[in-house]
Amino acid sequence: MKHKVQMYVGGKVFDEYVEARNNQDAKLTALSRNPTAKVIGVTAVLGHQNPDHPDFGRKPSSSRRTSSPGLTKTHSGDLTVSVLMGLFRVFQSSCDRWGVKRTLTVSAGIILFLTIVISIAASS
């Protein structure tokens, strides 16, 4: 995997791109190429951040979904699930704050799951 190693030497910051297995190996490789430099940071490079990639510097294009009759039901179901999951997270954080046992939280999660299943079954 390609890594970007930011380095500092002589008052200047520059990037060194290396192929390495992990961040530590990338740091060692960059230091072996520039022994007097100081490493500032190491980042794994993915997608269009790679300077060897033909689309380097361009923003990735967003894929737009086309609407279909089945997609509307999915979105309304997703909204229901999102709202219920948000409510569950609020409930869970309240339980954690009050010191309520995890079994109560899990029980509420099971009830929430059943509510989601029932609401999805009712909408279809």
pLDDT band at 33 (very low <50, low <70, confident <90, very high): very high
**pLDDT 10s digits, 63-117:** 555 544 444 444 555 666 677 677 777 777 766 666 666 666 677 777 777 887 7
7-11, 31-35, 81-85, 113-117: the lowest-pLDDT one: 81-85
What's the confidence (pLDDT) of residue 50?
A: 58
For residues 78 and 64, give the distance between their C-alpha atoms in angstroms, rounded to a whole number: 18
66 CB-side CA count, 13 A: 1
Rg (CA), the chain: 25
pTM of structure: 0.42
